[in-house]
Each structure stands twice: as structure tokens, then as C-alpha cells.
Amino acid sequence: VVLKVPFLDVLDSMMNNDLPLTTAEFEEWGNPQENRKVYEYIRSYDPTKNIDKMFSLSKAGQNTSSTPAFLVSCSLSDMRV
């Protein structure tokens, strides 16, 4: 899978008020810092928090705990990414 600019670290991003787009999203998504239900809901679909769960039933439904290898590259200065 090649993802061009995905929003993968949803929960950590929403917990960081210093990121320029975070507080603007509170109205639509809720504030996970102030509302535990919002926190739990975002955590339930955040890919970076669910890697083990996503791959625990791979290989035709067989229960396995092996996580596939990842190659991740990113920008250090682009706050939009």
C-alpha cells in the first residue's frame, strides 16, 4: 500500500493543540482531551493505535500476532502532513 498523505496518527494529532489544524477539528470531531467518549471513539479507529488488532486475524482468519514490516517516511517541517 502506498499512502500519499494519510491522516494516520489521528489521536496523537488531536491531543496536540500546537498543531495548526487540531483545534479547528474539535467542533466536528469533539475534543478527546476533554471528553473520554470522544477519546475512546477516535482511539477505536486510529490506525497507529490498532496495528496489532488489524493484523491479529490475518492469513485467512488464522490468529497470528505477527505485524507486517512498515516503511515510513515523512516530513519534519511540513505541519500539514
Instruction: Count other C-beta atoms under 10 Å from residue 24's C-beta.
Output: 10
For range 3-26, the mean pLDDT: 84
47: number of CA atoms within 13 Å, CB side?
A: 7
For residue 42, the Cα-to-chain-centroid distance in whole angstroms is 8
Phi, psi torsion values for 21, nearest 5 degrees: -100, -5
Q: Mean pLDDT for the chain?
A: 78
Instruction: Count other C-beta atoms under 10 Å from residue 14's C-beta.
Output: 23
Residue 49 carries which DSSP code? G
* pLDDT tens digits, 42-70: 999 888 887 776 666 555 555 555 666 66
For range 26-55, the mean pLDDT: 87
- pTM for this prediction: 0.64
For range 16-28, the mean pLDDT: 88
For range 30-42, the mean pLDDT: 95
